[in-house]
Amino acid sequence: MRKLINNIRQELKSVYSESETDALIRIIALDLLKINNTTFFLRDAVSLTPAQTTLLDNCIKRLKKNEPIQYIIGETPFCNLTFKVNPSVLIPRPETSELIQWITTECSITKPCRILDVGTGSGCIAISLARKLPHAEVTAWDISREAIETAKSNNELNNTEVLFQERDILTFTPKDEKFDIIVSNPPYIKEKEKTTMESNVLDWEPALALFVPDNDPLLFYRTIAEKAKKMLTSRGKLFFEINREHGAEICDMLSSIGYSDVELRKDFAENDRMVKCSFI
């Protein structure tokens, strides 16, 4: 095991930091090569099969191109569930799990409610909420057909019954659908921020789910909030994951268009990251 670890470290040292390499080694060993925990942590001797060697060689080549390890393996853990991921969807982030936790504390696990997830991507928010709130009826929308197909696969993988629909929130006209909770983690990175982004995000994750125009960074928040007024039930709640630079601005916008009880929360890194509000 030690020889294997040293070989991987040697291959990746020119691309990744020591801490990043250590994290990658653990994922490669346990999730890609399926080496058992005891062997890995005790550094017992290990001999790779030809199939494992091929997997490892392919993985190293892709990592050297800064491809995210989650895409290489094809799945990632999130909220104690497993989600298939590929370049058509964003890789779920830890801060998004905090948003899910906030929503679940606002809901009763014994009462029915209707939830809409706008811009669902892999389906991680919708599916996690469906698992945590067994009486909830969860619907999820995305503009990307490829993302919807991935989300449907995750729906089956995690044994949930989320309804996934291909819809563009920017052109959608609300009709008679009503929801108790609407949640969204929309695109919120400004185009000008590309220069500060890591290549493993910029070169691999879907731009459609990442970026908004520099001259209108609140485009999706404003659009969703306006349309949500016609879709929320009385005292329905709207939740957003947000760009940390625009927390106060988003709160002011929500108040100005008629929302009440607007609350801004920080994530575990002390960045403004989540907003909740209500609509009468």
Q: Does residue 231 carry a pLDDT above 80?
A: yes
- Are 245 and 177 found together in one domain? yes
d(CA 72, CA 6): 21
- Domain interval for residue 198: 87-279
**Residues 130, 91 share a domain:** yes
Confidence at residue 201, expressed as pLDDT on a 0 to 100 scale = 87
> Do 215 and 257 fall within a single domain?
yes
Co-location of 117 and 218 in the same domain: yes
Alpha carbon distance 19, 33 (integer Å):
20
Give the β-pairing of 136-142 and 113-118.
parallel
44 and 147: one domain? no
Q: Are 98 and 236 contained in the same domain?
A: yes
20-37 pLDDT tens trace = 999 999 999 999 999 988
Please indicate, yes or no, whether residues 267 and 214 belong to a single structural domain of this protein: yes
What is the total count of domains within the chain?
A: 2
- Confidence check: pLDDT of 154 > 90: yes
Among 34, 65, 96, where does a domain finish?
65
Does 201 lie in the same domain as 142?
A: yes
- CATH code, domain with 92: 3.40.50.150
Among the three residues 13, 33, 65, which one is the final residue of a domain in this structure?
Answer: 65
145 and 225 co-located in one domain: yes
Find the mean pLDDT for residues 135-154.
97
- What value, to the nearest 5°, has the Cα angle with vertex 248 and ends 244 and 249? 95
Residues 53 and 182 in one domain: no
What does the mean pLDDT of the chain come to?
Answer: 93
Q: Which residue has the tokens 């909830």?
A: 136
